[in-house]
Amino acid sequence: MAYTGNTYSDLTPRQSGFSVAEFLKRAIPMMTIEKFGTQKPLPKNETKTIKMRRYFLVGGTGGYSGAAGSYNLPLATTALTEGETPAGIKMDYKDYSVDIAQYGNWTGFTDFFMDTHEDVPPVIREFSDILGEQAALTKETLTYNVLKAGTNVFYANGTARTDVNTPVTKALVRRVTRALKVQNARKISSVLASEVKYNTQPIEAGFITLVHPNCENDVREIDGFIPVKNYAQGKAMEGEIGSVEDMRFVSSTVFTAFADAGGAAGTMLSTTGTLADVYPMITLAKEAFSIIPLRGANVAQMYVVYPKATETDPLAQRGTIGYKFYHASIITNEFNLVRMEVAATA
């Protein structure tokens, strides 16, 4: 008798757990952005709105240098008086709320396929792997769209996106790292590990910059660029191409350009050949954004339906395999995220 106590179509809970693990194994190595955010695992059986909270000094909504509203406390440089309790400081907080949303997709297969293929289970697993890649790139793109809408922006040249028609330079890198440092933004020194379990791993501290492969050559041309092959063993992250001083560059095709959004193209890449494409290179410090990671038992589900006779499929000719996952991401500290807008040399 078939097992009927599950909610995973033709999979038992044990099979579903295994399928999700295999699905995540293919998806997680492709997740570039989420490992740098503040992780907010999906709670079970709670509301659809997730809150991320930041604390600061009473008197403002966020700033730096120990001022009212600062995320950094002023120094306690006044000596204590014997027997007297100091005034102390008052803390406030700001909640950042974001609604979680569900995404998913599926593909089909036939009874003929199952009857004539020698290795049906491995092929079904391969379908799961391919869907895992789609889920990963979908989640990455959703997060990227949130991050590239940040308000802290530096232009490679000019004062607006429509002026941009030069590549990234060492001077621009230094302007951005200086802006982060004077705000006491902290470098990222640990990231979410590229594995199914929810674990973190230490990395060499740095500000992480997300770049499109079209910008890689310009990054490599920066004076002082250190390629990952010259790193100490095990120090490079997946997708990382190298570093310049305090900035580490991670590449992915997800980080697409604003087509024809810049100045006269000249020798820069252009979609139509007239105006330069503008690439957002997003630099992240610690706690710049929060995200539901693609990890854990609640965040994703796999569903397999083998061909069976139904009213809509009376000859049991069609089956399906699909997935769903939950996602939410939000910028929680605009000062810790900088968008460099640059062109890419053709």
CA distance 85 to 75: 17
pLDDT reading at 196 higher than 80: no
∠ CA 149-33-194, nearest 5°, is 170
Mean pLDDT, residues 25-31: 57
Residue 193 · residue 201 · CB < 8 Å: yes
pLDDT reading at 26 higher than 60: no
- Report the percent of the chain where pLDDT is more than 70: 74
Give the per-residue pLDDT at 344: 98
3-state class (DSSP) for residue 330 = strand
> Residue 330: what residue type?
I
Mean pLDDT, residues 288-298: 74
- Kindly tell me the sign of the dihedral angle through the C-alpha atoms of 193, 198, 202, 205: positive
DSSP string of 234-269? Answer: T-PPTTEEEEETTEEEEE-TTS--BTT-SSB-TTB-
pLDDT reading at 205 higher than 70: yes
**Residue 110 CB coordination number (10 Å):** 13
Helix (H) or strand (E) run with residue 181 in it: helix 170-182
Mean pLDDT score of the chain: 80
Per-residue pLDDT tens over the stretch 65-121: 444 334 556 677 888 888 888 887 776 667 777 888 889 999 888 888 878 776 656
Tokens of 263: 């100045």
Give the per-residue pLDDT at 328: 87
CA distance 214 to 193: 26
**Residue 83 CB coordination number (10 Å):** 5
- Kindly tell me the sign of the dihedral angle through the C-alpha atoms of 334, 335, 337, 340: positive
Top-confidence residue, 78 or 296: 78
pLDDT reading at 5 higher than 50: no
pLDDT reading at 322 higher than 80: yes
CA distance 150 to 334: 7
Per-residue pLDDT tens over the stretch 218-239: 999 999 999 999 887 667 888 8
∠ CA 66-67-69, nearest 5°, is 105
3-state class (DSSP) for residue 109 = strand
3-state class (DSSP) for residue 116 = helix
How do the domains of the chain map onto residue ranges? 13-144+296-325, 152-291+331-342
Give the per-residue pLDDT at 292: 81
Give the per-residue pLDDT at 128: 79
pLDDT reading at 203 higher than 80: no
Residue 60 pLDDT level (bands cut at 50, 70, 90) = very low
Mean pLDDT, residues 259-280: 97
HSE (CB half, 13 Å, CA atoms) of 78? 9
pTM, two decimal places: 0.79
Architecture, CATH, for domain 13-144+296-325: 2-Layer Sandwich (3.30)
